[in-house]
Amino acid sequence: MLWDIFCKVIDNHGDIGVCWRLAADLGSRGESVRLWVDDASALAWLAPHGASGVQTHGWHEADAATAGDVVVEAFGCDPPAPFVERMPRMAPAPVWINLEYLSAEAYVERSHGLASPVMAGPGRGLTKWFFYPGFTERTGGLIREHGLMQKRAAFDASQWLAEQGIESLPNERLMSLFCYGDAPVEALIERAAASPTLLLATPGHASRLAQAALGPSMRRCLLRCIALPWLTQPQFDRLLWACDLNFVRGEDSFVRAQWAGNPFVWQAYPQDDGVHLEKVDAFLARHLDDAPASTAAAIKSWWTWWNGAGPLPRGSDGGDETHAWETVSKHWTQSLAAAPDLTTRLLGFVKKVR
Amino acid sequence: MHNKDPMVVLRTEYSRGGRNSATVRMKLKSLLNASGTEVVFKADDKMDQVVLDKKDCTYSYFADPMYAFMDDEYNQFEVESENMGDAIQYLEDNMPVEVVFYDGKAISVELPTSVVREVTYTEPAVKGDTSGKVMKPAKLATGFEIPVPSFVETGDKIEIDTRTHEYRKRV
């Protein structure tokens, strides 16, 4: 099938990150994909070699295009009106999907797969379908490329670090940092500096905040920090695989941290009225469902603090619960990996509604 | 209107998605053949609304399966309980509502956008927590539960947004 994926880059890199990953995954399965994006600049470092089956186009080039078999608007971004105007005249009309935001909240299961009649505008009369990524069988699942878990199992962290020119010292704990501008990085550094730590900070807010906290030396007590260059998506995966503790944010890196199988702390995209904290709580309720109470409490205290809703946790980065946290993370990854991935479910869904 | 059928909205669920977006899930019932469906919209989607007649009434009584309302001329109108939707959660005697008519038949009611109701039960307040950020369930006389700040106590009167079922303030 020919897929049209529409992506508007609002802020940060999550929009293009998710859309590119979906496009590439579809392309790897033999689908033809046109990715229509208003700002493709991040692809220069995120995916410099492109992907098989995927063509990238400027947003307004779609004004003159006719839709393929499936149209995906990512995160409700409303494709250009001229493109949509031609859709009702097609026979058959393309399957129109709104790829929604990921959440562990209960409403996702209730809303996933529902029709959304288009009652106004250029697409009037068509039906859009809401497709929600999620963590359960009753949602759209999570993007997971074929062979990902095998690559993860075969990964050699030492070799990869060496290839990146990163030397980790004996007993040094590796932490990755990818965060929004209001993350309490100074406090994290102050806490982490009590133990041998190599902090790998991604470009943007993470590096900026780390450099502001550490100064030119990029060191404090037992903590060293390296400001990383922009990484491709596969290389970012390997960063997460190599680290003992990952601080991630938004949607794409949040999912990738779960495939890494290592302890991680997620910073949710901040929203009005603090509603993002409900999303954090909803995820933790699922993620920690089988965890021992003390482990769950320790993990929750880190997540709550990192999202600005609680005090700095006691102990050092999980302390006595470190091993238990690793077990929780691995168990979670295994359970997610046992379920069909998002692209598989999306293909099945399109086949059903077509 | 949905596929040229006039529909009544029985239930709505307003959900906050990512990045300050929102969606609304609706349970619909056809006014013509009683068939039902569920749909979802982005919160800012536009839709055709059927122009319906409305009349100011007050709630009188319930005689299963009909809810009875009366206007100021003592005319009585009955609405099927299945079509009452979320209005049931806030009903109390003599409550002012708008009864909605399609083709001369009372099909649903519309509530005021906010109502004041007494909390019939909620767990005791935690001393010292006046932030309003910690929420707990509170039950109304109808049995309906909504989340309220932890400082709200049994017997308190609270203002509720009937569209989103959200606590607004203590009255």
pLDDT band (50, 70, 90) for residue A148:
very high
pLDDT at A335: 97
B101: helix, coil or strand?
strand
Alpha-carbon separation of residue A185 from A254, A271, A312, A320 (angstroms) = 18, 20, 12, 22
CA distance A249 to A178: 6
Cis peptide bond prior to B137, omega within 30° of 0 = no
* Distance of residue B55 Cα from the nearest chain A Cα, in angstroms: 27
CA distance A329 to B112: 48
Contact between A22 and A5 (Cβ < 8 Å): yes
CA distance A151 to A162: 18
At A195-230, the pLDDT tens digits run 999 999 999 999 999 999 999 999 999 999 999 999
Residue type, A294: S
Contact between A123 and A93 (Cβ < 8 Å): no
At A232-278, the pLDDT tens digits run 999 999 999 999 999 999 999 999 999 999 999 999 999 978 899 99
Q: Is the pLDDT of residue A306 over 60?
A: yes
Interface of B with A (CB under 8 A): 1-3, 13, 15-21, 23, 25, 37-42, 45-48, 133
Strands in A264-267's sheet, in edge-to-edge order, are: A219-220, A223-227, A197-201, A173-177, A245-249, A264-267
Closest Cα in chain A to B13: A107
Note the maximum CA span of chain B.
Answer: 55
What is this model's ipTM?
Answer: 0.84
Quote the tokens at residue A318.
């999980």
Average pLDDT, chain B: 89
pLDDT at A113: 97
- Specify the residue for token string 């993370």: A329
Closest Cα in chain B to A129: B40
- The neighbouring-strand residues paired with A5 are A35, A72
CA distance A285 to B71: 49
Instruction: Determine what percent of chain A is predicted with pLDDT higher than 90.
Output: 93
Alpha-carbon separation of residue A282 from A104, A209, A260, A275 (angstroms) = 5, 28, 21, 11
B151: helix, coil or strand?
coil
Question: What DSSP character marks residue A93?
Answer: P
* Distance of residue A177 Cα from the nearest chain B Cα, in angstroms: 21
CA distance A326 to A302: 14
pLDDT band (50, 70, 90) for residue A160:
very high
CA distance B156 to B152: 7
Ranking A101-105, B51-55, B141-145 by mean pLDDT, the lowest is: B51-55
CA distance A179 to A74: 22
B1, B2, B7, B23, best to mutate vs chain A, most A CBs in 10 Å: B23
CA distance A247 to A177: 5
In our burial notation (b when 16+ CB lie closer than 10 A, e otherwise), range A205-230 reads bbbebbeebbeeebebebbbbbbbee
Q: Is the pLDDT of residue B96 over 70?
A: yes
CA-nearest of A255, A246, A152 to A199 is A246
Task: Clarify whether A341 is annotated catalytic.
Answer: no
pLDDT at B38: 94
Select from A105, A114, A272 the Cβ nearest to the Cβ of B20: A272
CA distance A319 to A317: 6
Q: Is the pLDDT of residue A316 over 60?
A: no
**Residue B47's CB: how many other CB atoms inside 10 A?**
13
CA distance A85 to A67: 10
Parallel, antiparallel or unpaired: strands B36-42 and B22-30 = antiparallel
Residues of A in contact with B20 (CB under 8 A): 271-272
Q: What does pTM read for this prediction?
A: 0.82
pLDDT at A317: 53
Q: Could B21 and A101 be called an inter-chain contact, meaning their C-beta atoms sit closer than 8 Å?
A: yes
Residues of B in contact with A110 (CB under 8 A): 13, 25
CA-nearest of A140, A31, A36, A26 to A78 is A36
Tell me how many helices (H) and strands (E) chain B has.
0, 14
CA distance A53 to A120: 33
Phi (first) and psi of residue A57, to 5 degrees: -130, 155
